[in-house]
Structure 1
Amino acid sequence: MSYIEEDSSKEFHDELKYLKLLSNSYPTIADACTEIINLQAILNLPKGTEHFLSDIHGEYEPFIHVLNNASGVIKRKVDDVFGNILSLKEKKSLATLIYYPEQKIELELKEQQNIEDWYKITLYRLIDMCRYVSSKYTRSKVRKALPKDFSYIIEELLHEQPAKMNKEKYYEEIIKTIIRVGRAKEFIVAISKLIQQLVIDRLHIIGDIFDRGPGSDIIMDTLLNYHSIDIQWGNHDIVWMGAAAGSEACIATVLRTSARYANLSTIEDGYGINLLPLATFAMEFYNDDKCEFFKPRFENDNTCNDKDVKLMAKMHKAITIIQFKLEGDIIKRRPSFKMEERLLLNKIDYDKGIINLNGQTYKLKDCKFPTINPNDPYKLIPEELELIDKLKSSFLNSEKLQKHVRFLFAKGNLCLKYNSNLLFHGCIPLNEDGSFRRVTIGASGKEYYGKDYLDRLEILVREGYFYKNNPEAKLYGMDIIWYLWNGADSPLFGKDKMTTFERYFIEDKATHVEKKNYYFELEDNESACNMIFKEFGLDPKISHIINGHVPVKLRKGESPIKANGKLLVIDGGFSRAYQPETGIAGYTLIYNSYGLLLVSHEPFESTQKAIEEEKDILSTTIVLEQEVERKRVGDTDIGEELKIQIADLEWLLDAYRTGIIKEQR
Structure 2
Amino acid sequence: MEDLKFKYLERLSEIYPTIAQASTEVINLQAILNLPKGTEHFLTDIHGEYEAFAHVLKNGSGSVRRKVDAVFGNTMSSRDKQALATLIYYPREKMDRVKKEENNMEDWYKITLYRLIEVCKRTASKYTRSKVRKALPKDFAYVIEELITEKAELTDKESYYNEIVNTIIRVRRAEEFIIALSELIQRLTVDHLHIVGDIYDRGPGPHIIMDKLMQYHSVDIQWGNHDILWMGAAAGQRGCIANVIRICARYGNLDILEDGYGINLLPLATFALSKYADDPCECFGLKGSTSFTAQEKEMEIKMHKAISIIQFKVEGQIIRKNPGFKMEGRNLLHRIDFEKGTIDLDGQKYELLDKNFPTIDPRHPYTLTKEEEDIMERLERAFLNCEKLQEHMRFLLNKGGLYKVYNNNLLYHGCIPLNEDGSMKQVKIYGKTYKGKELYEVLESYVRKGFFAVETKEKERGRDMMWYIWLNENSPLFGKDKMATFERYFLAEKETHLEKKNPYYSLLENEKVVDSILAEFGLSGECIHIVNGHVPVRSKNGESPIKCGGKVLVIDGGFSKAYQKETGIAGYTLIYNSYGLILTAHDPFESTEAAIEKGSDIHSDSIIVKRVMARKRVEDTDDGKRLKERIRDLEFLLEAYRSGRITEKI
Quickly name the TM-score band, shorter chain normalised.
over 0.9
Counterpart position of 1:650:
635
Q: Which of 434, 439, 443 is residue 457 of structure 1 equivalent to?
A: 443
Superposed CA deviations along residues 337-380 of structure 1, whole A, max 9, x for unmatched, are 10000010011111111110101110101010111000000000
Indicate conservation of the 8 Å contact 1:533/1:540, yes or no: no
Mapped to 2, the partners of 1:330 and 1:589 lie a distance apart of 39
Counterpart-to-counterpart distance in 1, 2:6 and 2:222: 40
Q: Does 1:387 align with 2:375?
A: yes
Pick aligned residue for 2:519 from 534, 553, 562:
534
Q: Give the alignment's Cα RMSD to 1 decimal.
A: 1.3
1:138 aligns with 2:128: yes
Match of 1:355 among 320, 343, 349: 343
Q: Name the counterpart of 1:482.
A: 467
Which SS does the other structure have where 1:577 is aligned?
helix
Could you tell me whether the CA contact under 8 Å between 2:222 and 2:401 is conserved in 1? yes
2:172 to 165, 176, 182: 182
2:386 to 398, 409, 412: 398
Once residues 182 and 540 of structure 1 are traced to their aligned partners in structure 2, the CA distance between those partners, rounded to angstroms, is 56
Q: Which residue of 1 aligns with 2:557?
A: 572
Question: Following TM superposition, by how much is the alpha carbon of 1:190 offset from its aligned partner in structure 2, in angstroms?
Answer: 1.3
Corresponding position: 1:117 with 2:107: yes
Report the residue type matching 1:362 in the other structure. Y
Match of residue 559, structure 1, among 540, 544, 551: 544
**Is 2:94 the counterpart of 1:129?**
no
8 Å contact kept, 1:461–1:477: yes
Cα deviation for residue 314 of structure 1 reads 0.4
Classify the secondary structure of the residue corresponding to 2:562: coil
1:610, distance to aligned residue in structure 2 (A): 0.3
Is 1:70 matched with 2:55? no
In structure 2, C-alpha distance between the alignment counterparts of 1:69 and 1:618, rounded to whole Å:
9
Report if aligned partners of 2:61, 2:603 keep a CA contact under 8 Å in 1.
no
The 5 A counterparts of 1:221-240 are: 221-240=211-230
Residue of structure 2 in register with 1:366 after alignment? 354
2:330 matched to 1:342?
yes
Query: Deviation of residue 291 (structure 1)?
Result: 0.3
By how many angstroms is 1:437 displaced?
A: 0.9
Instruction: Specify the alignment match of 2:85 in structure 1.
Output: 95
CA contact (8 A) 1:429 1:436 kept: yes
Equivalent residues of 1:534, 1:540 under 8 A apart: no
Cross-structure match for 2:606: 621
Give 2:98's aligned residue: 108
Whether 2:623 is the aligned partner of 1:638: answer yes
CA displacement at 1:618 relative to structure 2? 4.3
Distance 2:462 2:2 in 1: 43
What amino acid maps onto 2:383 in structure 1?
F
The answer as to whether partners of 1:116 and 1:179 remain within 8 angstroms in 2 is yes
- Aligned residue in 1 for 2:504: 519
Structure 2, gaps ≥5 residues long: none
1:43-442 aligned at under 5 Å gives the runs 43-161=33-151, 164-297=154-287, 299-300=288-289, 302-442=290-430
Q: Kindly provide the amino acid, as one letter, of the partner of residue 644 in structure 1.
A: E
Once the 2 structures are TM-superposed, how far is the Cα of residue 466 of structure 1 from its aligned partner?
2.5
Deviation sequence 1:505-563 (CA, Å, 0-9, x none)? 11111111111111111111111111011111111432100011111011222111111
Q: Which amino acid aligns with 2:381?
A: S
CA distance in 1, matches of 2:166, 2:116: 15
Distance in 1 of aligned mates of 2:110 and 2:548: 52
Q: Which amino acid counterpart does residue 268 of structure 1 have in structure 2?
A: E
**Quick one: distance in 1 between partners of 2:510 and 2:576?**
23
CA apart distance, 1:184: 1.7
- Cα shift readout 1:607-632 (whole Å, capped 9, x = no counterpart): 10100111112411111111011111
Q: Which amino acid counterpart does residue 379 of structure 2 have in structure 1?
A: L
Contact 1:601 1:617 in 2 (8 A): yes
Q: CA deviation at 1:470?
A: 2.4
Once residues 58 and 408 of structure 1 are traced to their aligned partners in structure 2, the CA distance between those partners, rounded to angstroms, is: 15
Rounded to whole Å, the distance in 1 between the matches of 2:598 and 2:507 is: 45
| Local SS of the residue matching 1:57 | coil
Q: CA deviation at 1:162?
A: 8.8
Contact 1:464 1:477 in 2 (8 A): yes
Distance 1:271 1:113 in 2: 46
Question: Does the residue aligned with 1:660 lie in a helix, a strand or coil?
Answer: coil
Which shifted more, 643-652 or 401-410? 401-410
Q: What is the DSSP-based 3-state SS (H/G/I as helix, E as strand, rest coil) of the residue aligned with 2:644? A: coil
State whether residues 162 and 168 of structure 1, in contact with CA within 8 Å, keep that contact through their aligned partners in structure 2.
no
Distance 1:162 1:347 in 2: 83
Decide which moves more: 182-191 or 237-246: 182-191
Question: Equivalent residue of 1:578, what SS?
Answer: helix
* Alpha-carbon separation, structure 2, partners of 1:660 and 1:141: 34
1:164, distance to aligned residue in structure 2 (A): 4.6
TM-score by length of 1: 0.96
For 1:8, the equivalent position in structure 2 comes to none
- Structure 2 CA distance, aligned partners of 1:457 and 1:479? 11
Task: Output one character per residue of 1:302-345: Cα deviation in whole Å (capped at 9) or x when no partner.
Answer: 32121111111100000000001110111001111100000100
Q: How many angstroms does 1:187 deviate by?
A: 1.4
Q: Is the CA contact (8 Å cut-off) linking 2:62 and 2:603 kept in structure 1?
A: no
Partners of 1:518 and 1:613 in 2: CA distance:
45
Q: Deviations over 1:365-402 (max 9, x none)?
A: 10101110000000001000111111222222222211
Q: Distance in 1 between matches of 2:94 and 2:386?
A: 34
Where structure 1 has 5 or more consecutive residues not aligned to the other structure, the ranges are 1-10
Question: What amino acid sits opposite 1:430 in the alignment?
Answer: L
How far apart in 2 are the matches of 1:200 and 1:579? 27
**Whole-angstrom distance in 2 between the partners of 1:543 and 1:498:** 33
**Secondary structure of 1:63's partner?**
helix
CA distance in 1 between counterparts of 2:544 and 2:601 reads 24
User: Which residue does 1:604 correspond to in 2?
Assistant: 589
Work out the CA distance in 2 between the residues paired with 1:172 and 1:397: 56
SS, match of residue 202 in structure 2: coil
Paired with 2:526 and 2:119, the residues of 1 have a C-alpha distance of 36
Q: Give the letter aligned to residue 343 of structure 2.
A: I
Contact 1:573 1:584 in 2 (8 A): yes
1:431 Cα deviation from its structure 2 partner: 0.9
1: CA distance, partners of 2:587 / 2:554: 17
Of 163-172 and 114-123, more deviation after overlay is shown by: 163-172
Contact 2:235 2:384 in 1 (8 A): yes
Aligned to 1:7: none
Residue deviations 1:621-654, cap 9 Å, x none? 1111110111110000000000100110111111
| Alpha-carbon distance between aligned partners in 2 of 1:583 and 1:370, rounded to the nearest angstrom | 41
Structure 1 residue 167: Cα displacement: 4.4
| Aligned 8 A contact 2:86 2:596 in 1 | yes
Q: Write out the 4+ residue segments of structure 1 that deviate beyond 4 Å after TM superposition.
A: 161-164
1:33 aligns with 2:23: yes
* 1:562 alignment partner AA: K
